[in-house]
């Protein structure tokens, strides 16, 4: 990808990192990093700390640390049950979507990557055009379709379309992954009498795991953060909603209890942030891998 040129005079390979001195440059980097951290973290910290204050505290001393630390906002939400119910809903939908997308997408990418057949290219292009149809564009007719199918109000109504809309990205990412696996493996397997399906299941999948994890992570995040489809489908009550939708309902109902809303929103952030911390490497690698192509 990068045009590597070797036309410069040969140099002894430098072992120290470039610009290694603790100089003004380092301080600039640290300074800018701190500013970026403050910019990013500031609002989030305000939100989290606000949940530990009373309304009056928030009004009189918004920037300072809570004094005293009020636990009731967070405690009430954690003991009320609705938060956990919504968390579970989000989890189930996200897991269902992820499993579905990874399974169907990887399976579909396999023939497109390694078989030769008429229509392979056309199929791949078809899936690629899916990138042009995000859920937002299709939402009105999709909603009507789901309603006619009776999938409204059930989690399947969320999972199945989300799987369908995640297929384009998945196939695009998985196809080169699967294609890159050496043919010697395949030929050896066939010589040993392994069927194509067997080859897929026993040899290819384990090797493709990094790609599958990447795709899975992207699908999980996408499903977890979804708002529009749940808004239209999960209409029957707050206990059936996913977490982002639940936060908006909580905010609408308790609008004047700002610190309560701050607590609820902070708690809703935690799963995503935890997930992110554990898998940050994967997420970044996945994105940059997709970007680098």
Partner 1 sequence: MTTTRRTLAATATVASAALLLAACATGGGTTTPSGSSATSDEPVTLTWWHNGVAGDNGQNPLGDLWQELADDYTAAHPNVTIKIEQIQNEDLQRTRIPTALQSGDAPDIFQQWGGGELAAQVDAGYLMDLSSVLSSDIDRLGGAVAPWQYQGSTYGVPFRFGVEGIWYRKSLFEQAGITSEPTTMDELNAAVDKLKAAGITPIAVGAGDKWPAAHWWYNFALRSCSKDVMQASGTTFDFTDPCWVDAGKQLEDFIGTQPFQDNFTATAAQQGATSSAGLVATGQAAMELMGDWNIFVFEGFAADDAAKEELRADLGWFPMPATTGGKGDPTAALGGGDGFSCYKDAPKECADFLSFLVSDEAQKRFAEKVGGLPVAPAATSAVTNENLQELAAVASNAGYVQLWLDTTFGMNVGGAMNDGIVAIFAGTGDAQGVIDLMTAAAATQ
Partner 2 sequence: MTTVTAPAREEGPAVDATSAAGTRPTPTGNTTRQRKDTARKWAEIGLFVGPALALFLTFVVYPVASAARYSLFKWNGVQQFSEATFIGLENYARALFGGTDPATQAAFRTAYSEPFWTALGHNFAIIGLSMAVQLPLALLVALTLNRRFPGRAIARTIIFAPYVLSEVIAGIMWLIILDPNGIATRMAGAAGITMPAGGWLESQTWGFWVVFFVVTWKYLGLAIILFLAGLSGVPQELQEAASIDGASWWQVQWRINVPLIGPTIRIWAFLSIIGSIQLFDMVWVLNKGGTTGQYSTIASFMMQVGYFRNDVGFGSAIAVIMFLISLVIALAYMAVMLRGDSNSAGKAR
Identify residues 177-236 at the interface with partner 2 (CB under 8 A).
179-180, 183, 186, 190, 196-197, 200, 218, 221-222, 224-228, 232
Figure out which of the listed residues 52, 74, 83, 165 binds partner 2, where binding follows CB under 8 A. 165
Figure out which of the listed residues 156, 238, 276, 282 binds partner 2, where binding follows CB under 8 A. 276
User: What tokens were used for 282?
Assistant: 């994967």
The interface partner of residue 194, options being partner 2, partner 1, none and the CB cut-off 5 to 8 Å by kind, is none
How many residues sit close enough to partner 2 to count as binding (CB under 8 A)? 128
Q: Give min distance, CB of 16 to partner 1, in A.
A: 45
Figure out which of the listed residues 76, 253, 278, 284 binds partner 1, where binding follows CB under 8 A. 253
Question: By C-alpha distance, which of 180, 187, 188, 173 is closest to 207?
Answer: 180
The interface partner of residue 56, options being partner 1, partner 2, none and the CB cut-off 5 to 8 Å by kind, is none
User: What tokens were used for 213?
Assistant: 């994890």
Q: How far apart are CA 165 and CA 223, in angstroms?
A: 11
Site for partner 1 in 19-78 (CB under 8 A): none
Q: How far apart are CA 136 and CA 165, in angstroms?
A: 10
Q: How far apart are CA 38 and CA 32, in angstroms?
A: 10
Q: How far apart are CA 75 and CA 251, in angstroms?
A: 17
Q: Which residues contact 162 (CB under 8 A, 6 or more apart)?
A: 93, 97, 100, 101, 135, 219, 222, 223, 226, 229
The interface partner of residue 184, options being partner 1, partner 2, none and the CB cut-off 5 to 8 Å by kind, is none
Site for partner 1 in 134-163 (CB under 8 A): 143, 147, 152-156, 159
The interface partner of residue 254, options being partner 1, partner 2, none and the CB cut-off 5 to 8 Å by kind, is partner 1
Site for partner 1 in 257-286 (CB under 8 A): 258
Tell whether residue 87 is a contact of partner 1 (CB under 8 A).
no
The length of the chain is 293
Binding part of the chain for partner 2, among 69-77, 202-210, 233-241, 282-290 by CB under 8 A, reads 282-290
The interface partner of residue 168, options being partner 1, partner 2, none and the CB cut-off 5 to 8 Å by kind, is partner 2
In Å, what is the CA distance from 159 to each residue of 96, 116, 165, 197, 270? Answer: 6, 32, 10, 26, 22
Figure out which of the listed residues 75, 78, 80, 107 binds partner 2, where binding follows CB under 8 A. 107
C-beta of residue 215 within 8 angstroms of C-beta of residue 290:
no
Got the DSSP string for 131-194? GG--HHHHHHHHHHHHHHHT-TTSHHHHHHHHHHHHHHHHHHHHHHHHHTS-HHHHHHHHHTT-
Given the rule CB under 8 A, which residues bind partner 1? 88-89, 92, 95-96, 99, 143, 147, 152-156, 159, 201-202, 231-238, 240, 249, 252-256, 258
């Amino acid at each position: 990808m990068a045009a590597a040129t070797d036309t410069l005079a040969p140099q002894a390979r430098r072992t120290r990192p470039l610009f290694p001195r603790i100089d003004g440059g380092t301080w600039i980097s640290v300074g800018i990093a701190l500013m970026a951290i403050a910019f990013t973290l500031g609002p989030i910290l305000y939100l989290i700390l606000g949940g530990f204050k009373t309304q009056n505290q928030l009004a009189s001393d918004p920037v300072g640390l809570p004094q005293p630390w009020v636990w009731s906002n967070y405690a009430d939400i954690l003991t009320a049950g609705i938060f956990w119910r919504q968390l579970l809903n989000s989890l189930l939908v996200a897991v269902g979507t992820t499993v579905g997308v990874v399974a169907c997408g990887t399976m579909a990418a396999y023939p497109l990557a390694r078989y030769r057949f008429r229509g392979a290219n056309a199929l791949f292009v078809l899936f690629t055009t899916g990138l042009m149809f995000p859920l937002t564009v299709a939402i009105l007719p999709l909603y009507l379709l789901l309603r006619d199918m009776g999938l409204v109000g059930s989690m399947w109504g969320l999972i199945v379309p989300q799987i369908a809309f995640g297929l384009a990205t998945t196939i695009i990412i998985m196809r080169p992954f699967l294609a890159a696996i050496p043919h010697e493996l395949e030929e050896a397997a066939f010589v040993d009498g392994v069927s194509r399906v067997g080859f897929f299941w026993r040899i290819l999948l384990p090797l493709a795991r990094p790609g599958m994890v990447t795709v899975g992570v992207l699908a999980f995040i996408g499903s977890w953060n979804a708002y529009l489809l749940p808004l239209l489908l999960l209409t029957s009550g707050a206990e059936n909603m996913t977490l982002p939708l639940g936060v908006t309902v909580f905010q609408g109902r308790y609008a004047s209890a700002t610190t309560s809303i701050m607590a609820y929103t902070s708690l809703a952030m935690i799963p995503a942030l935890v997930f992110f911390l554990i898998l940050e490497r994967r997420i970044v690698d996945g994105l940059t891998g997709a970007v680098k192509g």
